[in-house]
Structure 1
Amino acid sequence: MKIGIIGAMQMEIDNLKESLENSKTENVSGVEFVSGTVAGVEVVAAVCGIGKVFAAICTEAMILKYNVDMIVNIGVAGTLCKELGVMDVAVADKVVQHDMNTSALGDPVGLLSGINQIFLPCNESMMELLEKCLADKGMKYKVGTIATGDMFMHKAEQKAKLHERFEAIAAEMEGGSIGHVCYVNKVPFAILRTISDGEGGAMDYATFAEKAAELGIEVIVEFIKRSGELNL
């Protein structure tokens, strides 16, 4: 079994590198991939960069070059619901690209032309194992839709609109794109996002992003060690 881990920023992957044994680094399509093992499990990790295009490039390269059996996207996000505050965790059961909009042609907002779906489902077994790891660590989390778009959502009215339209619990800038690439390649995927910004928006992000990323790594290392429990 080989697990792919994708983060948007260096801080989201740095701590994972420390856990990798027999690691080696390669550059593919402008992305640095680090491969090695964690508790005997093969892992490939990469920092994709911020935004949907960088995320898609990284995901496709990881699938084609390293033939991973699954991909987990980790990182930080902004909350869209009252139940999730700063340093809590959002686990996606599905993803949506909120800035995909061909509604002028009569389509619903979020529809992905070509595959004709709005929501892309995450792998249930992966999602359930992430939940177990979070519960065992006593971390507060919520499962729901994570919304992706090429914009930092900081205004209250923007967040309220996303929550109302898609029932989304968190917003970020890569997960939906990673899910899209995994979906068309038939690779199971999961999304784990630690909340770095709440009502304070950009101010919260600057203060809490690094610590939130560290918490996400704690969970993903445990997930890798317990990956034998997965039923893919």
Structure 2
Amino acid sequence: MDAFKPTCIAASLAACLAGTPVLAQVIDETPRLAVMSAFDPEWAVLQDGVQDAETHAINGSPFVTGKLEGQDVVLVLSGVSMVNAAMNTQIALDRFRVEGIIFSGIAGGVDPELTIGDVVIPEQWGEYLDAIMARETADGFSIPPWMSSNFEPMGMRHVRNQTVLREGLDEPETRFWFPVDEDLLETAREVATDLSLEKCASEGDCLSKAPRIVVGGNGVSGAAFVDNADLREWAFDTFDASVLDMESAAVAHVAWANNVPFIAFRSLSDLAGGGEGENEMSTFMGLAARNSAEVMRSFLAALK
């Protein structure tokens, strides 16, 4: 029970020392949209234009309240990785009155029809690298007989579904896909028809054609930065994925568990190992972050 002691405050010291968990206190009562990004280059773009900004440091991470495109928001720096994203999403839900979650950031392109700079707004997300590492036998890789996988494996890696619970369920549910909110997705479709996106990075490198916005399809997330053509091809063939990243499915999972609407805007900074030369992220990361944020801001402005 000592794990609770560092969080003790005077008003609840007795309960804390007795081993009773101290509930997180809500910072303010304003209903807000949580607008998230993963790391500093995205975070800097996200904060541009926020009015009445006030920073709250929670567990070492910044949470910025204010107004963005007329909406009351709390900006959340998720951190890179599935664990960081899940942790900071739940912190935001516990400490603020969050009515919806919106993620904006960069991603690796999986669909060969997409190119760098494109913004993709998937309709569902899956945790594709959560896996069963199979035993090698004379007949190939085999998982234990009491386990199962719904997808084509990649070598010893067999994809594992999630067993999840939330309020209203009498027993755990097994699922791979976590859907985004249908109403939010419809607003994104309406916004996408009227926008044009940048094709040149700040350093002067330009794409051969203007990026486009693609609404719908699948996104996948996992605890690995991907710069591998074979894994990229497997992700496309197996999950019909458009993009992959390291956070969105974790946020979608937490949002689903809390019954909170979720949507993610992801712009391609690289092709996840599918390009002809070196990984493109360092060249086009800024352009992709700006394009994703531009679509997200237009989306915010269009929300009723």
TM-score, length basis structure 1: 0.93
Aligned to 2:55: 25
After superposition, give the CA deviation of every residue in 1:157-209 in whole Å (9 maximum; x if it has no partner). Answer: 10111111111111100000000110100001001100110233862111001
Which string of whole-angstrom CA distances, capped at 9 and with x for unpartnered residues, describes residues 97-131 of structure 1? 01112464422224002331011111111112222
- Distance between the aligned counterparts of 2:278 and 2:160, measured in 1? 25
Moved more, 49-58 or 2-11: 2-11
CA distance in 2, matches of 1:206, 1:16: 19
1:107 to 120, 144, 148: 148
Taking the aligned partners of 1:30 and 1:166, their CA distance within structure 2 comes to: 36
For the aligned residues, what is the CA RMSD?
1.6
Partner of 1:118: 176
Bigger CA radius of gyration: 2
Superposition deviation, residue 144 in structure 1:
1.0
Q: What is the match of residue 213 of structure 2? A: 141
Aligned-residue identity in percent: 25
Q: Among 214, 219, 223, which residue is 1:150 paired with?
A: 223
Kindly provide the amino acid, as one letter, of the partner of residue 163 in structure 2. Answer: S
SS at 1:203 equivalent: coil
Alignment of 1:180-195 (within 5 A): 180-195=253-268
Partner of 1:165 in structure 2?
A: 238
Output one character per residue of 1:45-88: Cα deviation in whole Å (capped at 9) or x when no partner. Answer: 12111100000111001111112100011111111112210001
For 1:182 and 1:218, locate their aligned partners in 2 and report how far apart those are by CA, in whole Å.
23
For 2:247, which of 174, 179, 190 is the aligned residue?
174
Give the aligned length: 228
Alpha-carbon distance in 1 for matches of 2:226, 2:62: 28
1:83 maps onto 2:113 in alignment: yes
Q: What is the 5 A alignment of 1:5-24?
A: 5-24=35-54
Distance in structure 1 (CA, Å) of the matches to 2:72 and 2:98: 9
Answer yes or no: is 1:225 the counterpart of 2:293: no
Match of 1:58 among 88, 95, 98: 88
Determine the C-alpha separation between the residues in 1 that align with 2:301 and 2:279: 35
Provide structure 1 residue ranges, at least 5 long, that are not aligned to the other structure: none
Specify the code of the residue in structure 2 equivalent to 1:126: L
Out of 127, 135, 145, the position equivalent to 2:185 is 127
Q: Is the 8 A contact 1:13 1:217 kept in 2?
A: no
Residues 84 and 90, structure 1, Cα contact 8 Å, conserved in 2: no
| Higher mean displacement: 111-120 or 125-134 | 125-134
- Which has the larger helix fraction? 1
Amino acid at match of 2:231: Q
User: Amino acid of the residue matched to residue 50 of structure 2?
Assistant: L
Letter in 2 for 1:107: S
Within 2, Cα distance between the matches of 1:18 and 1:157? 38
TM-score, normalised with respect to structure 2: 0.71
Distance in 1 between the 2:278 and 2:74 partners? 30
Contact between 1:50 and 1:173, CA under 8 Å: does it hold in 2? yes
